[in-house]
Amino acid sequence: MFRIFLIAALLAFVLISWFPYRKAPRTREKWIPVRPKNYRRIALYAIEHAANPVVLMNRREVNDFSESGPLTQKGIRPCLDFEIRDGTVPILGFHDHPDQMWIVESRREVADHCAAQGWLKIQGRAS
């Protein structure tokens, strides 16, 4: 009887340790597709509204937001990866080309303000 219990306990331990718990699927927030016209002003407005702004250009953090730094119209245009975050939470970004820019749905006010200023055009609904 003890052997059966021991074998069952060993089998349960092996099954639990070999088959990890299922992780919850990661869900990304919906993105609003936008067509930017003035990359710098959009970026500065997003930075201004972030509590803890983090700017990544080609996966490198940028801390100089002045006109002599890389965060200019000419500096942003050739980027392949561009993202502005509030800490670790994305606000806006693009991959490959600025025409593929997106703004997260929770920051809709940033998109609406920039569109009202003429800095970008909202191209569709969040998806």
CA neighbours closer than 13 Å in the CB half-sphere of residue 121? 4
- Per-residue model confidence (pLDDT) at position 124: 86
* Type of residue numbered 67: E
- Per-residue model confidence (pLDDT) at position 122: 94
pLDDT per position in the chain (127 positions), as tens?
A: 767 776 777 666 666 666 655 555 556 789 999 999 999 999 999 999 999 999 999 999 999 999 999 999 999 999 999 999 999 999 999 999 999 999 999 999 999 999 999 999 999 888 8
All structural domains of the chain with their residue ranges: 29-122
Strand ranges across the sheet with 120-122: 60-62, 53-57, 81-86, 89-95, 102-104, 31-36, 120-122
pTM of the model: 0.77
